Amino acid sequence: MGKRKVLIVGAGIAGLSLANALQKYCKDQIDYRIVERQLKFTPQGAGIALPANAVAAFQQLGLDQTIIQQSFHVKQIVFTDEKNTLLAQSETDTLHPKNFPFLALSRYKLHEILLGHCPLDKISFGKSVVGLTSKSEQVQVKFNDGTEEAFDLVVGADGIRSQVRKLSDLGHEDQPLSLGIFVWRMLLKRPPKLEHPTYMLGTGTLFMLFPISDEEMYCYAHVLSPQNGSHNEEISVAQMKSHFAGFEGDVKFALDQITTSQQLMSVPLETVPEVKTHPKMMKNILYIGDAAHACAPSFQQGGAMSVEDAVIVAKLLAAFEEIPIEQIVNFYDTFRLKTIHSVQSLSNLVLQKAAQAIDAQTIEARNQKIMNDGPFNVAFWREYLKVDVFDELDNFIRTRMN
Ligand SMILES: Cc1cc2nc3c(=O)[nH]c(=O)nc-3n(C[C@H](O)[C@H](O)[C@H](O)COP(=O)(O)OP(=O)(O)OC[C@H]3O[C@@H](n4cnc5c(N)ncnc54)[C@H](O)[C@@H]3O)c2cc1C
């Protein structure tokens, strides 16, 4: 059998991780290409927190040590109220059974690492997909430059507004759903006394300060917003600052550094309406990353799940090189759907519930719960990280091979 041809659409965390994974696990079996619609490489979103399972997934790509060297090592998570009164703090180093650390770094650095291990001649920038049709055992792909080519597998790694998802689902429009929360992200100078990532909870608001190096911190700030309202007014710096004027601790140090709207990356939080790993009608297509399961960043699982998806797809392709791609897509679905569905629904629910604490009684109950149980994200990781997805995958592959 000759090499199978795989097209990856999108060079974000998911697409680049898949390129790295194919390079590592399927070098002799797969011939892959990436198309990225942007003309040049511009990662969105300032910083990124990587819980231990993300680092475990990067180990599968052989990139964990490089990422560890370039990241801030998170040892504790701190929750306070808006007056900076401590509600709870928890250790993060002991959460993963294999002791992977919890890290944080700039998005730019992470993308550089992923890109640095992927041959540049495999990526076409400024190129996107405009048509997909089934053609016997392949998918015929039409590109925006007028060219066409057939692939054995097309992977939609093109984010929450996935064009692959739209084109392969026979025109079915599944627009992202608003979560009723508006977010700003920024990279700022780290305050001298900020030792640990600190989540400051206000009235329908959250300001998170996350060290990412000795000098820099990543900040995430959110407010409740109308589900379908206009967000234009939120883009002004004065408007943004007014939401957090009552916050104490290091928030003032952060706000004083913001002078222009170019420092703010602002987005309404959205989710895919339905978690899907592949289209129902077209056989040789699958989705990874946000194209499959975009959700609220409550447990910082978007990046982790994207890298895990990529490794899982590559390992399935490597293990089952003789069986039809359609069957591999089914394996990916069977193995992955339940987990990503539950992470997505819990992530959306938790963040919306926390943000909706706007009256004194609910805020008191929320704070009391955090004081009793500890940070809600650490409680989630403590349970979720007990299972090593790659050990499970090895078992899954073994049982399917027998
Ligand atoms: C506010 C916020 C904070 C977050 N914080 C964290 C965090 O701390 N930790 C974490 O792990 N996750 C976090 N996430 C989630 C994380 O950012 C995403 O899950 C992750 O970036 C998904 O990567 P992706 O590659 O699937 O999608 P994307 O990053 O969206 O990349 C998709 C790529 O595809 C390209 N593309 C799109 N359409 C086409 C097309 N038609 N043709 C070709 N190319 C195309 C795009 O240009 C882009 O480069 C956060 C998300 C948000 C919204």
Judging by beta carbons within 10 Å of its beta carbon (0-12, 13-18, 19+), is residue 319 exposed, middle or buried? buried
Nearest to 292, CA basis, from 276, 280, 308, 315: 276
Rounded Cα–Cα distance for residues 286 and 125 (Å): 21
Output the residue whose Cα is nearest ligand 1's atom 5: 297
Inside any domain, residue 93: no
Specify the pLDDT at position 229.
47
- Is the CB of 49 within 6 Å of ligand 1? yes
Which residues constitute the domain of residue 283? 4-47+107-176+272-356+378-401
Supply the CATH number for residue 283's domain. 3.50.50.60
Specify the pLDDT at position 40.
82
Q: What is the pLDDT along the chain (402 residues), one digit of tens a residue?
A: 789 999 999 999 999 999 999 999 999 899 999 999 999 877 677 999 999 999 999 999 999 999 999 999 999 999 999 999 999 999 999 999 999 999 999 999 999 999 998 898 999 999 999 999 998 889 999 999 999 999 999 999 999 999 999 999 876 778 899 999 999 999 999 999 999 999 999 999 999 999 999 999 999 999 988 654 455 545 689 989 999 999 999 999 999 999 999 999 999 999 999 999 999 889 999 999 999 999 999 999 999 999 999 999 999 999 999 999 999 999 999 999 999 999 999 999 998 887 778 899 999 999 999 999 999 999 999 999 999 999 999 999 999 987
Output the residue whose Cα is nearest ligand 1's atom 30: 159
Inside any domain, residue 221: no
Inside any domain, residue 266: no
Cα of 13 from ligand 1 centre, angstroms: 7
- Is the CB of 152 within 6 Å of ligand 1? no
Q: What share of the chain is helix, strand, coil (3-state, %, to 5)?
A: 40, 25, 35
- Is the CB of 377 within 6 Å of ligand 1? no
Number of Cβ within a 10 Å radius of residue 112: 14
- Predicted TM-score (pTM) of the model is 0.96
Inside any domain, residue 33: yes
- Is the CB of 12 within 6 Å of ligand 1? yes
Cα of 57 from ligand 1 centre, angstroms: 17
- Is the CB of 163 within 6 Å of ligand 1? yes
- Is the CB of 48 within 6 Å of ligand 1? yes
Number of domains in the chain: 1
User: Do residues 204 and 219 make contact, with C-beta atoms less than 8 angstroms apart?
Assistant: no
Which of 9, 13, 123 has most ligand 1 atoms within 8 Å of CB, for mutation?
13
Specify the pLDDT at position 351.
86
